[in-house]
Structure 1
Amino acid sequence: MKRIAAISLATAALALPAAAQDDGAFVDFQVLKPEVAQTMAEAAMIACRDAGYQVGVTVVDRFGIPQVFVRDRFAGVHVYETSRRKAWTAVSFRTSTTELAESTQAGETASGIRHLSEALPLGGGLVVYEGGGSIVAGIGVSGAPGPELDDVCAEAGIAAIEDQIAF
């Protein structure tokens, strides 16, 4: 009887990894806490301010839903829409908007993306990954004198929360 119990226990232990990999009905995912998204947005805005630029910054969750928007006091009216669309585009296409700007130019295979109403292939939108490589957010910056400078500020925002998400 003890032998049967031991075999049953061993069999059950071996079955646990298979059960853990079960393709159940639910999906697990992570998104940033609002406080972390706020920290990232503010850090990006301050990085741009310190460089002499007035910008708006939007952080979206992994699905493109806005979590945070901050706008410096003299940033243009357009920065709300452009920062949001850059962040949305980054998470939607899982790539930086600078890379997307290059791959969607006229004559390129993906040029049709530019005809989507929300897509904005213009530098300043970055995907935010957690330490294991999963997307947890997108950040979009708008208002610096060039899209490459928007990218620099977005990178500063990500760097500000890197220790919290690199697990």
Structure 2
Amino acid sequence: MRKLLLAMALVSGPAIAQDDEALVQFEVMKPEIALKLAQAALESCRDQGYQVGVAVVDRFGVTQVFLRDRFAGPHVEETARRKAWTAVSFRTDTLTLAEETAPDKISSGIRNLSMALPLGGGVPVDAAGSLVGGVGVSGAPGPDIDDACARDGIAAVEEDIAF
């Protein structure tokens, strides 16, 4: 009986998270994949007749890529970057976050943070359940369209980031 309990403990051991490690490992997109994502998002909006800016950030919110279509407004650089940063920081898309941080909601204080921009168009990028980055799109006539273009960009790299 004792050997059976020991064997069960050894088999179940690896399933328990190890918090005593000194270092952690994480995944991020290569610049080439971040660029492919940004290009696909830009093309999605362009195909619909919209000139936008697209920012792709790593899992820490640091910009990897920014693309601005030739007629997109100058504001799109800041708004796309902040949307991507917000999506990564709060690990949720900014269209949902816009609803959750409305003035009458308990999380409305998020809107007072200097970098947070809860306006649709920012989407976290996940691979195998792990956050690997975020994308933000700005410049379409509505945040729902920015969001759709961002998701089209992610769809273009899904096979590349599957692990």
Normalised TM-score (structure 1):
0.87
SS of residue in 2 equivalent to 1:126: strand
Aligned partner of 1:147: which letter? P
Which of these two proteins has the greater Rg computed from alpha carbons? 1
1:134 aligns with 2:126: no
Task: Measure how far apart 1:159 and its partner are.
Answer: 0.6
Q: Deviations over 1:58-109 (max 9, x none)?
A: 0000000000000000000000000000000000000000000000001210
% of aligned pairs identical? Answer: 63
Runs of 4+ in 1 over 6 A off after TM superposition: none
SS of residue in 1 equivalent to 2:83: helix
> What is the distance in 2 between the residues matched to 1:166 and 1:129?
9
Task: Measure how far apart 1:21 and its partner are.
Answer: 5.6
> What is the distance in 1 between the residues matched to 2:120 and 2:43?
18
Matched length: 156
- Per the alignment, residue 156 of structure 2 pairs with 160
- Per the alignment, residue 103 of structure 2 pairs with 106
1:116 aligns with 2:113: yes
- Per the alignment, residue 8 of structure 1 pairs with none
Unaligned runs of 5+ in 2: 1-6
- Per the alignment, residue 4 of structure 1 pairs with none
Q: CA RMSD in A?
A: 2.1
- Per the alignment, residue 145 of structure 1 pairs with 141
> What is the distance in 2 between the residues matched to 1:115 and 1:21?
35
> What is the distance in 2 between the residues matched to 1:104 and 1:138?
19
Task: Measure how far apart 1:165 and its partner are.
Answer: 1.2
